[in-house]
Homo-oligomer: A and B are copies of this chain.
Amino acid sequence: MKFAGSHILSIEQFERQDIERIFDVADMMIPYAHRERVTKVLDGAILGNMFFEPSTRTRVSFGCAFNLLGGEVRETTGFESSAIAKGESLYDTARVLSGYSDVIVMRHPASGSVAEFAAASRVPVLNGGDGANEHPSQALLDLYTIRKELQHQGRNDLDGLRIAMIGDLKYGRTVHSLCKLLCLFERVSVTLISPPELAMPQDLVERLREAGHSVFQSNVMEDSLAHIDICYSTRIQEERFADRAEADMYRGRYRLNQAIYTAYCEPNTVIMHPLPRDSRVEANELDNDLNDNPNLAIFRQADNGVLVRMALFAMVLDVVDQVDKNARDVNWYTERRF
């Protein structure tokens, strides 16, 4: 696909080579995100960071990514919707707001709303999450993390990947998107671990199989953890359940800790989670005793989100080739405690 000027609304719009190009640009961003170098390539550009639903980490991650490229950020945080309450259409909102910035990130609780907004926008729109529908930058950062963690182990290929997804596979938007992205690759083995009531939707299972992948389904975690490269744990999406009591039935069903990891996993199995992880006693999806496990990749995953979002901005605004020009070394304290 052509990135310059495009909306980024869904992972369905990408082919394998698009994904690989995004990841290569994300790699280019590492010295800037790690604060070794400063670039001002988007000096003077404005991001409209339009969150019509609160999401601190996604909002700050996008805003930070834009700042790291030298641009300015104007934003809403999800507590203002006066115009919409007065009967304004998404079309009007888009026409007006797109006059204020060079690119827009939009998050909105209604499925499909971001695409509708983008159709009327006069600048490129990146989907920051539209309800149960899509959250493409999250799916990309997940896959980017998988690639990077495997590369770290000396594997330079996503083909042949063995991954387990655990938890609420019915409502978890991130695992749905990840399954779709995996269909662009070859010979993937996918183990789906969930209560039967929260199983991966059947159309996605079939889509994986049509892509030539192996799919295993189970409702027991421990025995399925052997022979996998990536263990992708998820939170019960309680806000999607009809009532909270139902969500409580499933919370805490699958708990991974260091003892289980040692007993069942191969030594290099990478642990991922889209975050936030639910650390309350009744959930404890990933125990805190994993925090010192070098294969716990959940915070590297969040860091990678900044790289992927920087890449998307640079590609959509067509400045990839200019990023390294006029860059300079960082002049302040940066000795991070990685």
Contacts and interface: CB of A to CB of B under 8 A. Distances in A.
Interface of A: 4-5, 35, 38, 40-46, 48, 54-57, 60-61, 63-64, 67-68, 70, 72-74, 76-84, 86-89, 91-92, 95-97, 99-102, 121-124, 235, 238, 275-280, 283, 288, 291, 298-299, 302-303, 306, 316-319, 322, 330-338
Contact of A63 (B74, B95, B123, B336): B74
A74 B67 contact: yes
A35 B102 contact: yes
Given A38-B44, A55-B82, A275-B88, A60 B336 contact: no
A77 B74 contact: no
Given A86-B276, A88-B276, A278-B86, A97 B57 contact: yes
A60 B83 contact: no
Contacts of A288: 89, 91
Q: Interface SS of chain A: helix, strand, loop or mixed?
A: loop
Contacts of A306: 99-100
Contact of A122 (B56, B64, B101, B337): B337
6 contacts: A56-B81, A86-B235, A86-B278, A96-B275, A96-B299, A96-B302
A79 B79 contact: yes
Q: Which of A92, A280, A298, A302 has the most CB of B within 10 A?
A: A92
A74 B61 CA distance: 9
Nearest to A333: B318
Nearest to A81: B56
Contacts of A96: 57, 275, 299, 302
Nearest to A239: B86
A116 to B, nearest CB: 13
Given A96-B299, A275-B96, A333-B318, A76 B88 contact: no
Contacts of A42: 332
Contact of A317 (B5, B277, B333): B333
A101 B33 CA distance: 9
Contacts of A318: 332-333
Contact of A54 (B46, B56, B74, B82): B82
A42 B334 CA distance: 12
Contacts of A317: 332-333
Contacts of A83: 56-57, 275-276
Contacts of A299: 92, 95-96, 99
A337 B119 CA distance: 11
Contact of A78 (B60, B80, B87, B97): B80
Q: Which of A4, A238, A277 has the most CB of B within 10 A?
A: A277
